[in-house]
Amino acid sequence: MKAGFLTDRGRRRKNNEDYIKIIDDIGLYLLADGVGGSRSGEVASEETVESFANYIKLRIGDVQEEFDIIGLLEEAMNFVNKKIHALSRDKKENIGMATTFVYALIKDGTSYIGNVGDSRAYLIHNKEIIQITDDHTYVNELLKAGLLTKEEAKKHTKKNIITRAIGAEEVVKADLFTFPIDLGDKMILCSDGLYDEISDDDILNIINKHDDMQMCAKELIETANNCGGNDNISTICIKIMEEEHE
C-alpha cells in the first residue's frame, strides 16, 4: 500500500482528541475521535487505537482464513471496548470518556472495515466514491427511517450526537464489512471534522488528482480548515498497490 495520514486540531478547538496510526507491514490503519471532559477524549482515542493495534499485531500472523480474521477483529474490538469502559469508571475525570473508532485491515486482496460511531471509511473505485461505514448517530437513524431528507440531516442541530461509541457501554455493537479490493483502489478513513466541512464530491475530486497519498491527506485537511475547521480533522489515505492485490 501507499498511505498518507494527517491529523490537525482545526481552527476552533484548543486540543486534538483525534488519534491515528498506520502499521504498513500488516496493512492496518486506525483512526479514533475521542469524546469526554478534560483530557479524557484524548486518552480514549489513543488507548483505543494503540490497544487494538497491539492486539492485532501480536496475533495476525496466526490467522489466514477470512472466518478467523473476522473473529480476531471482533475479539480485538470487544477487548478495547472493555478496557475503555473500565477506564471511564476508574477515575472521576474519566466519567463519560468514550471514542468513535474506524479501522481498515487489508490482507490477501480483501479489505476488512470496522467502525463504531461516526468516523467513516470510504472506498474510491473506478474514480467513484462509496461510503462503506454507516454513521451511528441520532440523525442518521432519523434519515434511515425516512423522517429527514439528506439536506435536512446535514443541517440538523443534533447531527453529531452519536448512538454508539467505544467505552460508552460494557458491551459494544460494532459493524464489520468485508469486500475484495482491486489494484488502484483507494480508501479514506476520516473523522467527522473532515466530512462535516467538505462534501463527498470534494473528497473524491481531491483524492482522484493525487498519486501521492500524503499530499492527498494534506490537501483534504487544508480544504476542511479553509471551509471552517470547526472540529479536529483527521484522515488516512490509502492506495492499493500490486503487491497487496496479489
More confident call, 95 vs 10: 10
Whether the pLDDT of residue 244 is over 60: the answer is no
Model pLDDT for residues 59-88, shown as the tens digit of each residue: 999 998 999 999 999 999 999 999 999 999
Grid coordinates belonging to 96 = 463519560
**pLDDT value of residue 243:** 56
- 91's CB contacts (< 8 A; 6+ apart) are none
Separation of alpha carbons 167 and 101, rounded Å:
11
User: Which of the 8 DSSP states describes residue 91?
Assistant: S
**pLDDT value of residue 93:** 82
Whether the pLDDT of residue 246 is over 60: the answer is no
The dihedrals phi and psi of 47, each to the nearest 5 degrees, come to -60, -40
The dihedrals phi and psi of 126, each to the nearest 5 degrees, come to 50, 40
Question: What average pLDDT does the chain have?
Answer: 94
**pLDDT value of residue 101:** 99
The dihedrals phi and psi of 149, each to the nearest 5 degrees, come to -90, 165
What pTM did the predictor assign? 0.94
Helix (H) or strand (E) holding 23: strand 18-23
Separation of alpha carbons 17 and 90, rounded Å:
20
- 66's CB contacts (< 8 A; 6+ apart) are 110, 178
Q: Which of 231, 169, 212, 184 is nearest to 3 (CA)?
A: 212
Model pLDDT for residues 20-57, shown as the tens digit of each residue: 999 999 999 999 999 876 678 999 999 999 999 999 99
- Topology of domain 2-134+164-245 in CATH is Phosphatase 2c; domain 1 (3.60.40)
Separation of alpha carbons 189 and 57, rounded Å:
20
Q: Confidence class of residue 147 from pLDDT cuts 50, 70 and 90?
A: very high
